[in-house]
Structure formats: structure tokens, C-alpha cells
A and B are shown apart, each in its own frame.
Chain A
Amino acid sequence: MDILSLPDVFLRQLMRKLTIKDRMMLRLTCRAFTNLVSDSHAGNFESGSMFTYFNGADKVDKLALDIGEYKFEFGDVKKIKINQILYERSQIFRAISFTEFSITLRVSGVPFDFALNFIDGFEINVLRFHVNSENELDNSMACIDRFPRSNYAFILKCQTSTAKLMTLPPLEELHITCRIPLNSDQFLQLISIHKLVHCAYYASVTINWSELKQAMEMISAETRQRTARVCLDATMISNWLKSEGFSESSQVGDISREFELIRYKVENSHKTILFLRFRHCSIRIDRFDWNGGSVNSLVSMTNDKRLIDIVHYYTC
């Protein structure tokens, strides 16, 4: 039986199940497959990324693309021929789906528009931008209109004004990895807007215990999934918990006011993970020490208790 005589629906289903490499081989078999490869959907991939990196051996910045199982090199960013790459991409698939696709353009030389043109036709559930400059932030924000069917995650690695931060549209994830000062009202506002807010930079958020409790109340009362993670002084956290009636001798299951101690995970004397519950808000405190100390604790709060064990793995 001639494979090309199969109904179109069969062939297109088959094309969704082939790897990129297999598609490349198939297109060399005959003209009909060359056309089918370029005009078909390449299937679903869990993750993909476009990124620049410094190649130490060649001492140049290179542009590369990850699609599931393969890493494709475009070479030196200063020498890439953008239109040629866009044309070649169109020869390999018409569309492709990703659960998550991230764009990291650390160096100048790769126009942001090129990245957007390259992913034109991609079906992306979460489009993740690693934002390294104010300009990229503007571009990323503008991109939201261009791919309205996607959800977005921003990893902010550059300084920007708090005012601009507050104008971001609702995001799947907002990671702030540099010092952008936020007061408690602004922190609460970010939690209400975005599904996940991660303030990784120590002391970026100025917040006291009653305001942190307010964040917990807000997360607990939210019907939409909400998660927040903030880096705070360990001594403050320890003092706050003591003021709520907990101590080093507290046992799992102890309830004090509206908090319940769910479990302890002691890794060593300076590395304790504490799990608490406040109404519908699950709380996880990493790097906790009853004696406080100079380390910074990470406080994670979520109204989806399934996330509390994995929230730790949210990375930038």
C-alpha cells in the first residue's frame, strides 16, 4: 500500500507523532513528503526555548533553539541570517504546540521581533520571557497582544520602576529576581493580579507580620489559584511565629489561633522546612530557624495545597 494514498487526516495525524529529526528524513524521500512536512503540525512538546549563550570555545554569542529532544544551533548571533532562518523554519513545520516555551535573549544582536516571527504559528500555553533589560520588558509587554491565546510568565532580571511593574497585565508567573522595592500594598496588589508572584530578592518587599497575614487571608479567600513566594528575614519570621504562640517544642497538629502546624522537615540544625495552614492558605517556610540568624527564609503561600510541596521547585 502506498503511504501517500492514505487519507490526508491519517497523514497529518502521523506527522504530529514524528520527531523533528524523523520529519527531516521523511522530507528527503520525495516531493510530496517535502510539501507535507512543511505544511503540517509537528505535534505537542512539553517544553521548548530560544536562547542566546556565550560559547567559550568559539568566544562568540550563539543563538540556539530547543524543541523537546533537540537543540538546534543557529551560530554566531552577529552572523545569523534572519530571513533565511525564518524561511527554513517554514520548511520544517507549519505549526507546533508547546506546554511552555521560553525566550532568553541575553545579548544584543538578536532582534526581539525575530524571536516573535520565529514563533509565529506556534501554539504555546505558557510563553516565558527572561527579561534582561527595560527594552525587553516593553517588548514582552507588547507581545501579549500579538499572542493573545497564550498565558505569560515574566522573569524580571533587570531594574524597572515599581510603577511599571504594577501595570503588568495578569500573568501566569511573575518572578522578580532583582531589587525592585515593594511595599505591602503593592505586594498584595501583585498577588491579586497574577497567578504566581515570586519575590526572590531579599528585602525587596517591606512587610510586617500583620500585612503578611493579610496576604494569607487574601490568598485563602481567593477562588482563583494564587501562589506567592517572598524572601524575608529569618529572625522576623521566627519572632512572628513565636508571637502567634508557636515555639521550638511545638508538635505537628498543634493549633494556635488560626494557624496549624502541619509538618516539620528538619534537614539539619539550620535547615528546617516548616509547613503551616492558615484557613485555606497552605504555608511553607524554607530555611527556617527558631533562633533566627542571618539566613533569609523563603515564605511560600498558596491556596492550592497540591502545590505546597512543589512550589519550592519554581525556579527562574
Chain B
Amino acid sequence: PNVKLVTSDNEEFVVDFRIAKMSVTVSRLMEAMNMSETDDASLLSNSIPLPNVTKAVMARVIEWCEKHKNDEPKEEKENDKRGRTTHVVSDWDKEFLKNDEFGRLCQLMGAANYLEIKGLFNDISQTIANMIHGKKSDEIAEMFNIHCDLTEAEKKEIRKKTAWCED
């Protein structure tokens, strides 16, 4: 069975029921509208309005969901070799997200948050964390266009006070 999703710019996406269920938000809406997998009429006569997602972003979300529709539910318990519990971004997901500039990643993250698709939300936040990882403060500021409002004296003080945190 298929489910109709309508974006903020009035684009209709027809997706498989399993894909629609990957979004907690859509699941809840379907439940509220008495739409069930076994009731084709309820699916045909209703569509799910998603006023916070645009057509372009929805297409990306569906592409991600298509890839992950058969995934087993996984616990965030994959430790890297340094004892950190991290979300591991798969090779396919890295490839999927690698050409998105920061603004587009944020739009996608916003949609994942609104639609409550935890896996996609975690993938994107981990991707942004990976962009920051290992960079110096001025490199981070440049990457995200951050205007530094700290004085050199303040920076020096922060560094001094947390010297025990430095390698």
C-alpha cells in the first residue's frame, strides 16, 4: 500500500507504507486519521500534509528512507576505538551527504527533526561533528562564518584555565 505526503509547496509524494512509517510524525498523523495498512480506501482518500518540509528536501528524505527501509532498529552503542559511544555514519550515508553544503544539511536536519526520523537526524549531526573534528578554532570559525567576539585576552584566559584539557 501507498501513502500520499504533501509538502509545503503542494508537491505530492506517493511512498510505500513502510517508508511513511519510518517517520514518527507521519505515523502519528496516519493513526489520527485512521489510516491503516489494511484499509486501502483510507490510504487513497487521505493525504498527509507536511507544512514544514519543501519538495526538494522531501525528495532527499525519501531517498534516504528508501535506502534504510529494511534496516534493523539499531542501538546507539557503537564505540570507536577510543571508548566513545558514537553514531557511525555508513559509507552510503557519507556519500549521500557529502555534497550537501552546510545550509542544505541544516534544512535536511530540520526535516529529519520535524518528521522524527532519528537515524537521519543522527547521521546529519554526526556529519557536522565530523566536519568540526580535529580543526583549530580559527578553522572552525572560517568554515561556519563565525564572527569571533572574544578578545585575545579572553581567549588566552580560556586557554590558560583549561590547560589541563589540552593534549
Q: Which residues of A contact B (CB under 8 A)?
A: 1-4, 6-7, 9-10, 13-14, 17-22, 24-31, 33-34, 43-48, 68-70, 72-75, 84-85, 88, 91-92, 97, 99
Contact = CB atoms under 8 A, between A and B. Distances in A.
Contact of B133 (A9, A13, A22): A22
B158 A92 contact: no
B106 A6 contact: yes
Given A3-B144, A72-B164, A18 B132 contact: yes
What is the interface of chain A mostly: helix, strand, loop, or mixed?
mixed
A30 B149 contact: yes
Contacts of B113: 7, 9-10
Contacts of B84: 19, 43-46, 68-69
26 contacts: A2-B145, A14-B125, A17-B87, A17-B125, A17-B126, A25-B132, A26-B132, A26-B140, A27-B158, A28-B159, A29-B138, A29-B146, A31-B149, A31-B150, A43-B85, A44-B85, A46-B85, A48-B83, A69-B83, A69-B84, A85-B164, A88-B161, A88-B162, A91-B161, A91-B162, A99-B85
A17 B122 CA distance: 9
A1 B141 contact: no
A9 B116 CA distance: 13
B65 to A, nearest CB: 20
A28 B158 contact: yes
Given A9-B113, A13-B125, A14-B129, A30 B164 contact: no
A110 B138 CA distance: 37
Given A10-B113, A46-B85, A30 B79 contact: no
A3 B102 contact: yes
B155 interface: yes
A236 B166 CA distance: 55
B51 to A, nearest CB: 17
Given A17-B126, A72-B165, A73-B164, A34 B150 contact: yes
A30 B147 contact: yes
Contacts of A14: 125, 128-129
Given A1-B103, A30-B148, A88-B164, A10 B125 contact: yes
Given A1-B102, A18-B133, A68 B125 contact: no
B83 A68 contact: yes
Contact of A46 (B79, B102, B125, B136): B79
User: Which of the four size classes fits the interface of chain B?
Assistant: 35 or more
Given A10-B110, A28-B137, A84-B161, 7 more contacts: A22-B135, A28-B150, A29-B141, A30-B150, A69-B82, A72-B164, A73-B164
Interface of B: 76, 79, 82-87, 102-103, 106, 109-110, 113, 121-122, 125-126, 128-129, 132-138, 140-141, 144-150, 155, 158-159, 161-162, 164-167
Contacts of B85: 43-46, 97, 99
Contacts of B159: 28
Interface centre among A4, A26, A75, by most chain B C-beta atoms within 10 angstroms, is A26
B78 to A, nearest CB: 10
A26 B83 contact: no
A19 B79 CA distance: 13
B52 to A, nearest CB: 12
Given A1-B102, A7-B113, A13 B79 contact: no
Nearest to A26: B140
A18 B106 CA distance: 17
A24 B162 contact: yes
Nearest to A4: B146
Which 4 pairs show the lowest CB-CB distances between chains A and B?
Answer: A69-B82, A28-B137, A17-B129, A1-B103
Contacts of A33: 146
Contacts of A2: 144-146
Contacts of B167: 21, 70
A305 B144 CA distance: 52
A19 B147 CA distance: 22
B121 A13 contact: yes
Nearest to B148: A30
Contacts of B110: 7, 10
Contacts of A34: 150, 158
A68 B86 CA distance: 11
